[in-house]
Amino acid sequence: MTSTSRRFPGIAHRQGIAYKVAVGLVLIVLLWLSVAVSFEGVFARRDPVVALRWAPWSAQAKIVQSTALATDTATDMAGSAATATGAGTAADPATIAKARTLAQQALDRSPVQASAARAIGVAALSARDNATAGRAFTYAARLSRRDLPTELYWIESNVTRGDIRAALHHYDVAMSVSVKSRAMLGNILIAASAEPNVATELAKLLKTQPRWLPEFYQRLMGQGENPATLAYIANVMAFDGRDPGQAPFVSMTLNRLVALGAYGEARTLYRRSVGGADETVRNASFERANTLQPFDWIIASEPTYSGIIETRTGWPHGNVLTIAGTEANDVARQLLLLVPGQYRLSADTANVRQERETRPLLTISCVSDNRAVMSAPFAAAGAKPAAMQGMFTVPANCPAQWIAIRNTPSFDPVDSDPWIDRIVVQRIGR
């Protein structure tokens, strides 16, 4: 015990109490701060009013509340295009003034937070103060490229001004930083790309290989309705169909053009993508990889019917296509673009039974209505190949055809193993 304690025990007692009270007060303040910070983190976006009761300094809560007030909505819409552009029911002047005050307080508290600058822009738009809104969104864009509503504002602003290139720049930024935005913005771009001036600028952007290209291109070739636009973009992209990494893009385009009936555009794209001489039946001897369907062979690989490309002992001409399975179905097919006229078909077949009804078929039909143009059974043959031949006429209203190798339901793979090779189609008259 110190001398002071011995002489003045009452003073020492009071000092101890004061110390304990001070420590208690500090603990209470720390506890309140902890609770306030927790409330801010939980409620800043969900219920900014509650968050501000506990943490009146919260910039995030003020941003959310300002945005909700400015757009006259009951909940925060910070991730929507309506909020970014100030769309929605106009609020009364007092509400707008409160929204602008909250937004300014948020920016004062956090001057490098893009969403705070954006909140000022949203509030200004609600007040029809476009000049202030433009300055606020400009500042927000400088602070961060990751604020999606800011990018949506600039997309709409540039579209309104007719600056397509600038609008596409912000599309690129938005879809690069926000994966969730790609479906929404991609659909808008696809619809807009039907306009030639949009397609021209979009093709230039896609040529730069943005990180969202694979997802967007797949959506474009699944939804695009303007074949001229699709063909133009594909030609600008200049994908090489011989490159395994680029071939899927070419195939997607070919399939969409064919589905839209743009057969000429599809054929032009195929020729440019692979180079070389034009062939009536492509890869007729099954020597190349079939990567650009439907102009290359589409070969089935199902449990009950399939086509197998392989070599055969004693056959000096490379690969053949073996027909396997018991289900009647096409084991291989490709698109032809034969002009109207008369044609001769020939091929080599082997391991084919004598019974006509059991033989596989080589068929040609119109793509538009599945009308049969020719159906010829394989030539009967043992292990030694035999030549099959047939004649057919392509009518005038049949601009595109399927050539197909079809299995038969009575085919038994146990004791027969038919194959075909060197399929040739030649025009012999009009």
Q: Where are the domains of the chain?
A: 3-43, 48-274, 298-429
User: In the prediction, which pLDDT does 275 show?
Assistant: 81
Q: What are the pLDDT digits (tens) for 234-246?
A: 999 999 999 999 9
Distance CA 134, CA 292 (A): 48
Both tokens assigned to 112: 């490098």
Residues with Cβ within 8 Å of residue 81, at least 6 apart in sequence: 87, 149, 152, 156
Q: What are the pLDDT digits (tens) for 302-357?
A: 999 999 999 998 899 999 999 998 889 999 999 999 999 999 999 999 999 888 88
Tell me the sheet residues that pair with 402.
335, 365
For residues 59, 61, 63, 68, the Cα torsion angle rounded to the nearest 10 degrees is -170
Give the residue-averaged pLDDT of 380-391.
92
Tell me the sheet residues that pair with 341.
394
Distance CA 325, CA 413 (A): 6
Backbone φ, ψ for residue 300 (5° rounding): -75, 150
Ordered strands of the 401-406 beta sheet: 298-299, 330-336, 401-406, 361-366, 372-377
Do domains 48-274 and 298-429 share one topology? The answer is no
Distance CA 2, CA 9 (A): 10
Q: Cβ of 393: how many Cβ atoms within 10 Å?
A: 13
CATH of 298-429, one of 2.60.120.260, 3.40.50.1480, 3.40.50.880, 1.10.260.40: 2.60.120.260
User: Which of 319, 314, 312 minimizes the C-alpha distance to 284?
Assistant: 319
User: In the prediction, which pLDDT does 287 show?
Assistant: 94
Burial class (CB in 10 A: 0-12, 13-18, 19+), 335: buried
Residues comprising the chain, all counted: 430
Distance CA 91, CA 69 (A): 7
Q: What are the pLDDT digits (tens) for 194-248?
A: 999 999 999 999 999 999 999 999 999 999 999 999 999 999 999 999 999 999 9
CB 186 within 8 A of CB 215: yes
CATH of 48-274, one of 1.10.20, 1.10.10, 1.20.1440, 1.25.40: 1.25.40
DSSP string, 274-318: H-S---SSTTTTS-S---STTTS-EE-B-SSEEEEEEE-TT-TT-
